[in-house]
């Protein structure tokens, strides 16, 4: 019997998340990364496919432009972490809520012809423009553009990268060291019918050697106090040669922690390289918001 387990790790939150529409008005689509940890509890290799079950009108596809994507193999009695790029093929209005159902199918052959097992997962996606929110009240907005980082520790404010032209961000700079770095924001979690935290991050890996070898960031983890909101065991980003992929958005539903005083929200990762390199993780547009 093959068990395709429920997703246990996913960008933003387990099965529902909020997307900030700020800065997306000039785009024709928005990509969202889902991270699925899938277990193979059989004695033979299994091959996993993801299929969008609904909606069926083309509003959502994967980044290959279709409703199906072959994710790859899982060895016997093991698991794999797969990344899926879910694409909404138009920019929605602020306040809109979508539901998307994906079926994860397990096959016993690499031609994906003999289905063994499957499980479905439904995601609720809420879209909001937190610069002019429809359904939320913004409690904290840290953009660092005045050069300050109130109640942040572990990093520094920098003008080397920002989501806004000419702006600032908060950076974890590992230099050429092999080290774990952690940024911490301390705040009181507001009360409300729903509470969310969102932020943007970017990663720069820059070799300083004429011989470029692998540089990487691994064991990425986001926590609220001792509660893990998101983690990637092993490689989170790696590159050969240099890497700067731009900005990514990540967010979480933290309603269950509403009313917590002095909460510590942390973002940490292990930075490493085979040869000397600069390694940086930038954080920008940190938002805490609630629904009354």
Higher pLDDT, 34 or 149: 149
Measured in whole angstroms, the distance separating CA 146 from the mean position of its chain's CA atoms is 27
Cross-strand bridge partners of residue 14: none
pLDDT at res. 102:
95
CATH superfamily of 16-128: Immunoglobulins (2.60.40.10)
When the pLDDT of each residue in the chain is averaged and rounded to a whole number, the result is 85
Q: Return the closest-CA partner of residue 30 out of 67, 72, 75, 61.
A: 61
pTM, rounded to two decimals: 0.83
236/121 Cα distance (integer angstroms) = 24
Burial class (CB in 10 A: 0-12, 13-18, 19+), 226: exposed
240-256 pLDDT, tens digit per residue, is: 555 666 788 988 899 99
Locate the domains of the chain by residue range. 16-128, 137-291
pLDDT (tens digit, 9 = 90+) per residue, 142-163?
999 999 999 999 999 999 999 9
Q: Supply 210's token pair.
A: 């004429």
CATH assignment, 137-291: 2.60.120.260
Question: pLDDT at residue 259 above 80?
Answer: yes
Among candidates 171, 177, 154, which has minimal Cα distance to 272? 177
For 200, the token pair is 């943007």
What distance in Å separates the CA atoms of residue 31 and residue 55, rounded to the nearest whole number?
16
* Predicted confidence (pLDDT) at residue 210 exceeds the cutoff of 60: no
């Amino acid at each position: 019997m093959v068990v395709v387990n429920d997703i246990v790790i996913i960008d933003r939150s387990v099965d529902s998340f909020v997307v900030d529409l700020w800065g997306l008005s000039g785009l024709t689509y928005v990509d969202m990364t889902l991270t699925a940890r899938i277990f193979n509890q059989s004695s033979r290799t299994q091959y996993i496919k993801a299929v969008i079950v609904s909606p069926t009108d083309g509003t959502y596809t994967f980044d290959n432009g279709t409703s199906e994507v072959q994710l790859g193999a899982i060895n016997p009695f093991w698991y794999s972490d797969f990344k899926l790029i879910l694409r909404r093929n138009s920019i929605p209005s602020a306040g809109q809520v979508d539901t998307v159902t994906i079926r994860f199918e397990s096959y016993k052959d690499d031609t994906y012809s003999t289905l063994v097992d499957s499980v479905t997962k439904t995601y609720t996606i809420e879209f909001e423009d937190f610069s002019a929110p429809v359904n939320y009240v913004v409690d904290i907005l840290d953009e660092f553009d005045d050069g300050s980082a109130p109640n942040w520790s572990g990093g520094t404010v920098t003008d080397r990268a920002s989501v806004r032209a000419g702006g600032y961000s908060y950076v974890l700079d590992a230099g050429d060291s092999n080290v774990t770095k952690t940024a911490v924001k301390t705040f009181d979690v507001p009360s409300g019918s729903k509470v969310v935290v969102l932020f943007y991050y970017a990663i720069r890996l820059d070799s300083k050697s004429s011989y470029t070898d692998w540089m990487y960031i691994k064991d990425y983890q986001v926590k609220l106090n001792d509660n893990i909101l998101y983690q990637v065991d092993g490689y989170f980003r790696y590159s050969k040669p240099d890497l700067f992929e731009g900005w990514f958005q990540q967010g979480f539903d933290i309603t269950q922690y509403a009313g917590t005083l002095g909460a510590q929200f942390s973002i940490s990762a292990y930075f490493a390289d085979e040869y000397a390199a600069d390694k940086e993780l930038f954080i920008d547009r940190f938002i805490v918001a609630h629904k009354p």
